[in-house]
Structure 1
Amino acid sequence: MEDCLIENQTTFYSKAEHYWKEVPPTVDGMLGGYGSISSIDINGSKNFLHKFLGEGQGKTGTGCALDCGAGIGRITKRLLMPLFRTVDLVDVTQEFLDKARTYLGEEAKRVENYFCCGLQDFQPQPECYDVIWIQWVIGHLTDDHLVEFLRRCRSGLRPDGLIVVKDNVAYEGVVPDDVDSSMCRDLNVLHRLVARAGLNIICEEQQQNFPEEIYVHTLALR
C-alpha cells in the first residue's frame, strides 16, 4: 500500500528521526501540542486494558510490559507502571529516554531496560512481556516493517499475553504526513496488516472524548 507513498525507505526513517530530535521532551511535545488530552487518553487506555488483566484462564498477567515509541515515558508512568511490576521502554530518540529517567521519578527503578532503537529494527526478547503497548508510532513503519514488527512482538509475548495498538486512523485509504514522515492508515488497511502478521483482533474500540480531528482506535491483538 505504501509503495506509491514512500519513494525511499531510508529517507522515510531518517526524516522521522530528525523530526523527533527537534521535539521538546515534554508531555505536550509527545502529543504534538495536544497535551491537554493526556488524561482522557490514559483513562481510556486503563478502561480498555482492565478488561484483560487478572487471574484465570485467558487473562493477561501483570509481570512485565513493553512501551513502544515510549518517548519520555508518559504512558509508562501513568498507565503501565500502576499495573505492571516492571516496564521496558523502546524509542528511537535517546534524549527522550534520558528524560524518562527523571520524568518517571522514584518509579524509574522498576524500568529494567531503556532500548534506543527504531521499531523496524527492534527485536523483543522471546516470551518476555505480558503486554506490548504500541501507541502513536505505527505510522512511522512501512507496511512490511509493521507486519514484521508485529510478528516479532507476538513471539515476545508470555502465555496469554496481549499486543495493544492505539493509533490515529484515517477515514479512507492511507494519508501521508510529510511533516513528521509518517502515514495514517484506515481501519481496513490496518486490519489487513494485522491479519498478515498472523494475529487476531480480540477487541477494538474508538477512543472517546478526543477533539474531532483526532480519530483514534485501540486494538487488542493475540
Structure 2
Amino acid sequence: HLHRNYNCRNFFMKLSCTKMEDCLIEDQTTFYSKAEHYWKEVPPTVDGMLGGYGSISSIDINGSKKFLQKFLGEGQGKTGTGCALDCGAGIGRITKRLLLPLFRTVDLVDVTQEFLDKARSYLGEEVKQVENYFCCGLQDFQPQPERYDVIWIQWVIGHLTDDHLVEFLRRCRSGLRPDGLIVVKDNVAFEGVIPDDVDSSVCRDLNLLHRLVARAGLNIICEEQQQNFPEEIYQVHTLALR
C-alpha cells in the first residue's frame, strides 16, 4: 500500500521508533485485526489497492519487470519460470501485469477474501494459470516447500511485526525451488520506523529492513530504488533475496 511521506511531521512528533515493536501502542492481535478491518472497507479496484495512486500502476509494473527479468532464464544461477507466489496479492494487480506473463502458474495469498474473489474476474483469460488462492495473513501463511521460483512480496511487509516478518521470510526461503528468488518491494522510511494508524502498518528504514533480512538467513543479491514515483510518497526500494 502506497503512503505519503509524513517523515517531517513524524520526526517532530517523535513518532519514529528504532524497532517496529516499540511503535505498537496496542497488542499484536489488535494490530493485525485493525489492518484486516481496514482492508475489508477498501474497494476491490486497482486504485483501492494503491491507496488512490492507481495512476502509477504502469510505472510500478514496468520497473518491477525490468528488475525481475535480470534473474530469469536458462543456465546456471538463473531463476526458473515455473511458478510464482504473489504475497498480499489483493485483486491480482501484480499477478495480472507482472507474474502471469512471465510464469507458467501463479498462486495468490491475501488476507481479504473479497479481493481474491474479485481476482477471478479481474485476471481475465489468464486466470486459468492461477492454481491456488490462499486467504490468509502472511504471519500465518506457510508456503509449500520448494514450490516457487519467485515469491513476490510488495507493499505488505509493513503489516507484519519484525519477528513475524523474519519468520515469514524464513518460511519463504524453504518455499523456493533451486535458484529461486524472494523479491521484497516496499516503502522505505528515512530513519527509524514510522507507524501509520490509518491502515495499521509501519514503514521501516533500510537499515532495519537489511537487519531483518539477515536475521532470516537471506542475502541481498540486488537492490534498486523505484524511479519516477510522485515526490510526496515514500521512496520505494526493491530487494532480491536468496
Regarding TM over 0.5, the answer is yes
Residues 98, 192 of structure 1: alpha-carbon distance in 2 compared, 3 angstrom cutoff: same
Task: Provide, for residues 50-82 of structure 1, a one-character-per-residue CA deviation record: whole Å limited to 9, x for no partner.
Answer: 000001100000000000000000000000000
> What's the TM-score once normalised by structure 1's chain length?
0.99
| 2:105–2:131 contact (8 Å) kept in structure 1 | yes
| 2:80–2:149 contact (8 Å) kept in structure 1 | yes
SS in 2 for 1:198: coil
Measured after TM superposition, the shift of residue 4 of structure 1 is 4.2
CA distance in 1 between counterparts of 2:34 and 2:62 reads 32
Higher relative contact order (CA 8 A, sep 6+): 2
Task: Provide, for residues 88-134 of structure 1, a one-character-per-residue CA deviation record: whole Å limited to 9, x for no partner.
Answer: 00000000000000000111111000000000000000000000000
Measured after TM superposition, the shift of residue 214 of structure 1 is 2.4
Which has the higher mean CA deviation after the structures are superposed, 136-145 or 2-11?
2-11
Task: Provide, for residues 5-39 of structure 1, a one-character-per-residue CA deviation record: whole Å limited to 9, x for no partner.
Answer: 34300000000000000000000000000000000
SS in 1 for 2:61: helix
- Give RMSD over aligned pairs: 0.7
Residues 217, 57 of structure 1: alpha-carbon distance in 2 compared, 3 angstrom cutoff: same
| 2:24–2:31 contact (8 Å) kept in structure 1 | no
Residues 36, 159 of structure 1: alpha-carbon distance in 2 compared, 3 angstrom cutoff: same
CA distance in 1 between counterparts of 2:134 and 2:106 reads 11
CA distance in 2 between counterparts of 1:3 and 1:112 reads 39
Select which of 85, 98, 102 maps to 1:79: 98
Identity of aligned residues (%): 95
**Structure 1: tracts of 5 or more residues without a match:** none
SS in 2 for 1:55: coil
Task: Provide, for residues 140-195 of structure 1, a one-character-per-residue CA deviation record: whole Å limited to 9, x for no partner.
Answer: 00000000000000000000000000000100000000000000000000000000
CA distance in 2 between counterparts of 1:124 and 1:163 reads 12
CA distance in 1 between counterparts of 2:177 and 2:201 reads 30
> What's the TM-score once normalised by structure 2's chain length?
0.91
Which has the higher mean CA deviation after the structures are superposed, 59-68 or 205-214?
205-214
CA distance in 2 between counterparts of 1:136 and 1:181 reads 13
CA distance in 2 between counterparts of 1:189 and 1:201 reads 13
Matched, 1:183 2:202: yes
| 2:23–2:193 contact (8 Å) kept in structure 1 | no
SS in 2 for 1:7: coil
Which has the higher mean CA deviation after the structures are superposed, 5-14 or 50-59?
5-14
SS in 1 for 2:143: coil
CA distance in 1 between counterparts of 2:23 and 2:34 reads 18
| 2:116–2:135 contact (8 Å) kept in structure 1 | yes
| 2:155–2:185 contact (8 Å) kept in structure 1 | yes
